[in-house]
Amino acid sequence: MADLEIRDLRVSVEGREILKGVSLDVSKGEVHAVMGPNGSGKSTLSQTLLGHPGYKVEGGRVRFKGQDILELTPDARSRLGLFLALQYPIVVPGITMNNFLRTALNAHRGYDGKDKSKSVSPKEFRTLVEPYLETLRIDRTFLSRYINEGFSGGEKKRAEILQMAVLQPEVAVLDETDSGLDIDSIKYVSEAINKMRGPELGVLMITHYTRILQFIKPDYVHVMVAGQVVESGGAEVADRLEREGYAQWGEEVA
């Protein structure tokens, strides 16, 4: 059984069916890329996995570590070890990165403000964050800024990956973490993800372009078109997409 098991998932948004029976298996130690043209339902998949209320599950199931998660709140899914990096990270005025990261980590540890032994110490926090600040080329002053406020596109995406590094999820869903990034940011983000890569982490990397796959070699590549996975294979699928694009699945998706 895979760590994350998606079976025949059907999802509608505002009454329109977007995902039309998606099945995918992601286990720790594996990197999967989900590629597809714009509007094929990639973000609908990521939002549904993390429990966005605007996405209505019409059928199918999602199990994470053997547990049905579709009824769980987003924070419960997160505490179970699922992580989502948003395609469009949001600005949260009034909450600093530092505060947010520590609070999120404490919540994961089950620290409720009482049992101090469960809280993350400043030293432990630094040990977790510092190597990734360096890899991601994030200046430490970012930690005292409000979440994403005034961050450039590339900085927001790098901040998402910093969250991932701190929370150490078992399965991470990265929704177009590469889109809108300049080549340097793509390199830093890839470097950080490659550093986290290993037997304890599964990655579902959603991307429109093959570019990031030159830096993060996927074990599996799936092609999503019009709400369905139309092809799955190894890295060679991405190589073919690089040459031929999505046109083979119809003019309208080219």
Min. distance of Cβ 232 from ligand ADP in angstroms?
17
**38: partner contacted, choices Mg ion, ligand ADP, none (Cβ within 5-8 A by kind):** ligand ADP
Query: Measured from the CB atom, is 43 or 185 closer to Mg ion?
Result: 43
Min. distance of Cβ 62 from ligand ADP in angstroms?
16
Are 43 and 206 within 8 A, CB to CB? yes
Other CB atoms within 10 A of residue 154 CB: 18
**122: partner contacted, choices Mg ion, ligand ADP, none (Cβ within 5-8 A by kind):** none
Query: Measured from the CB atom, is 43 or 119 closer to Mg ion?
Result: 43
Binding positions for ligand ADP, 154-173, rule CB under 6 A: none
Instruction: Establish if 43 lies at the interface with Mg ion (CB under 5 A).
Output: yes
Min. distance of Cβ 46 from ligand ADP in angstroms?
8
Query: Measured from the CB atom, is 18 or 138 closer to ligand ADP?
Result: 18
Residues in the chain: 254
Query: Measured from the CB atom, is 29 or 153 closer to ligand ADP?
Result: 153
State the binding string over 30-69 for ligand ADP (x if CB under 6 A, else -). Answer: ------x-xxxxxxx---------x---------------
- Gap between the Cα atoms of 62 and 42, Å rounded: 16
Min. distance of Cβ 44 from ligand ADP in angstroms?
3
Q: How far is CA 205 from CA 51, 126, 144, 245, in A?
A: 18, 27, 29, 18
Question: At 154, which amino acid appears?
Answer: G
Interface pick for ligand ADP out of 14, 71, 139, 251 (rule CB under 6 A)? 14
| 3-class secondary structure, 51 | coil
Paired strand residues for 19: 11
| 3-class secondary structure, 204 | strand
Residue whose beta carbon is closest to Mg ion:
43
Helices marked H in 51-199 — which ranges? 74-80, 97-109, 122-135, 153-167, 183-196
Residue (of 144, 89, 98, 140) closest to 122 by Cα position? 98
Which residues of this chain interact with ligand ADP, rule CB under 6 A?
13-14, 18, 36, 38-44, 54
